[in-house]
Amino acid sequence: MPFLLGEATQEQIEAVQAVEDRADVCYRLMRLLSRPRNVAMWALLTAMAHEIEVFQQRYGANSPKHRIALINNDRYVCGFYFIAKYGKPESRLTTLTYTGSLVADAVVAHYISRRYTNFLYLFPMWHKNHEQVDLSEGGRVRFYIPHDSPRQRQVIAYQQIFRPAEDARGKPSPAVHSPYRQRLFSDLFQTARPGGLQRKFRYKPSPKLIEELRPDYVERLDANFRHPDTFQLSGYSLREFKEFYTAVLILCAIHEYICYPWKDEGQPIPLSSLVMVRSRAQWIAKLSEVADLPTEVCGRILADLTLDPANRSFTSLCIHPFVPLGHHGDNLAVAPQFPLASAADENILRSFSYTFPALFSAQNTQKEDAMRAQIVAADAPYHIAFSIPLPDGSTNIDVLIEDGASSTVLMAELKWIRKPAKPLERLSREEDLLKGIHQLELIREYGRARPTFLLDRGKLDKPLDSYEHVHHILLVRDYWHWIEPNDGIAVVDFDEFMRGYKACSSLKEFTEGLLRYEWLPVEDRDFHVEYSADSVNGAVIESPEFMPGPRPWERIRRENPSA
């Protein structure tokens, strides 16, 4: 039977701890640690980029398996910590060529980093009495889905697998290049093509090509950023960050194109050239030139986007794509796949919140305002009011929407809950969610006890109990878990709400449809869950893994009903 830490016997606690302790010394198996630190860092990043390229070759760009490979590799950063802590000093006498035994060492290090990452994410929640585990023969530990239920699985699939941030925010399909752009790319490729697979690409993109690509990435970031340009970060504004990141994306896109002829299955991938490497000064100078920003500003932004290898976990290569190859960070490497797939606005804010928590908290007061602005911009044909305090001072009604024609009132609380990057952040995020539910309970009970209070304040045309349909909904953005609808209170994803709200002609029909949750993926149709094992240094854990499509046996049954 699954048990929490607080329910476990001393013998069970010691058995679980033994598995964790054994995993914690897995770095001893990494032969890559015998290499100079700069070579080891570069080789590990190359192994990660190579795996993503292989998935793209086999399954197609933006296919579910390719997206999953991107999402997973993004967080496999503990290997960099092991190299920084236990590796050899860097050497300037080595060349960065991905060949021979270096490939095998990097693949093993990547495997260990991948396996150990799940240990890092799961055990902290066990120690906080949050995650349930079970023990099986041989000392294997199985972790279970928190708040597990069929609906919770749908919510997890919706948020983490089938709705990755870049798709949810309208990531564009690969562009069809105009003849002019294609000619610029072709001219560059002719000068960049190496004489052999192990030689590095050497190229210098023309200003014409950079300017040709700029509008695409400006438009992409403008469409995806959900925070105001005036938001101040550590010495620069969000507008300046967008200009900087536009330059990063342009350079990454050009580098990806240079590798384009090798993207088809069966064609060799130019391994030694997958990762872009420049000195810090070269990165700053080039990005300053492309972004047209002062070098001082580019230096600050670059520092905030640089991975700190001393942080064992809980960062990612989408948040910090610049990987320092040496102890002093003189040379920085970037695997283009990560910036190109990133949700740049959320990532820079997450980085800023970790580095400057007090400043972030002081400025991060505009999230709900942005959500209200979207509701207003939808221009739906209903009466809307915002920020209505309850007379007893207990809480506010964030949003009130009335549709007299269908005798429907919707009262909503708005919560923009930032996705947790660290395991223990889930605890505070869940508290935010429950706080929203509690606020709705206060609103519901006050309205039942005093149904005329909104009429008295001119917010409704009649008493609340005169409406046939009254809903209390927690509209959440980015993170939530399933909470069963209860007595008129439910949780709904804000972006999903807005997609339907913009076009609905009846608040009653729209809300009822939304609360059927047919917009969630369906288990054994859109996804299935398998308990997969992660083994490192002889320590074994099992945890749920969300996979695309139905289970293999279910797919066979549907395709062959008579079988």
* pLDDT tens profile 4-14: 999 999 999 99
Per-residue confidence band for 26, with pLDDT thresholds at 50, 70 and 90: very high
Query: At 331, is the pLDDT very low, low, confident or very high (cuts 50, 70, 90)?
Result: very high
Q: Which residue has the higher pLDDT, 562 or 63?
A: 63
523, β-bridge pairs: 527
CA angle 454, 458, 461 (to 5 degrees): 80
Q: Report whether 282 contacts 329 (CB < 8 A).
A: no
> Which pLDDT score, from 0 to 100, does residue 555 have?
57
When pLDDT is cut at 50, 70 and 90, the band that residue 167 belongs to is very low
CB neighbourhood size of 199 (10 A) = 13
Q: What's the DSSP call for residue 456?
A: H
Over residues 196-204, the mean pLDDT reads 67
| CA dihedral sign of residues 332, 285, 346, 220 | negative
Is a pLDDT exceeding 50 seen at residue 169? no
In angstroms and rounded to an integer, the radius of gyration of the C-alpha atoms of the chain is: 26
- What average pLDDT does the structure give for the chain? 88
Three-state DSSP string of 186-227: HHHHHHHCCCCCCCCCCCCCCHHHHHHHHHHHHHHHHHHCCC
Residues 106-159 pLDDT 10s: 999 999 999 999 999 999 999 999 999 999 888 899 999 999 999 999 999 998
Give the span between the Cα atoms of 322 and 316, in whole angstroms.
Answer: 10
Model pLDDT, residue 193: 62
| Residue 171, strand partner residues | none
- The pLDDT > 90 percentage for the chain reads 64
The mean pLDDT of 498-510, rounded to a whole number, is 93
Provide the whole-model pTM: 0.84
8 Å CB contact between 362 and 243: no
Range among 169-183, 184-198, 352-366, 445-459 rated most confident: 445-459
pLDDT at residue 261, rounded to an integer: 52
pLDDT, one tens digit per residue, over 396-417 is 999 999 999 999 999 999 998 8
Identify the weakest region by mean pLDDT among 14-23, 259-268, 271-280, 421-430: 259-268
Write the pLDDT tens digit of every residue in 37-51. Answer: 999 999 999 999 999
**pLDDT band at residue 170 using 50, 70 and 90 as cut-offs:** very low
Q: What is the pLDDT of residue 556?
A: 58
Q: Residue 164 has what pLDDT?
A: 38
Question: Does the pLDDT of residue 171 top 50, yes or no?
Answer: no
More confident residue, 262 or 111: 111
Segment (H or E) for 427 = helix 425-449
Residue 350 corresponds to which amino acid? R
Exposed, middle or buried, 478 (CB in 10 Å: 0-12/13-18/19+)?
buried
- Which positions ≥6 away from 210 have C-beta within 8 Å? 250, 254, 290
What type of residue sits at position 176? V
Kindly state the average pLDDT of the residues 163-175: 44
Q: Which pLDDT does position 367 carry in this prediction?
A: 76
Tell me: pLDDT of 199 over 70.
Answer: no
Inform me whether the pLDDT recorded for 161 exceeds 90.
no
* Cβ atoms within 10 Å of 270's Cβ, excluding its own: 21
* CA dist list (Å): 532 to 52, 145, 195, 429, 545: 20, 13, 43, 26, 6
Query: Is the pLDDT confidence value at 350 over 80?
Result: no
Q: How do strand 276-279 and strand 331-334 relate by DSSP bridges? A: antiparallel
pLDDT of residue 166: 36
On the question of pLDDT at 243 being above 60, the answer is yes
For the chain, percent helix, then strand, then coil, each to nearest 5?
A: 50, 15, 35
Instruction: For the chain, report the end-to-end CA distance as a whole number of angstroms.
Output: 35
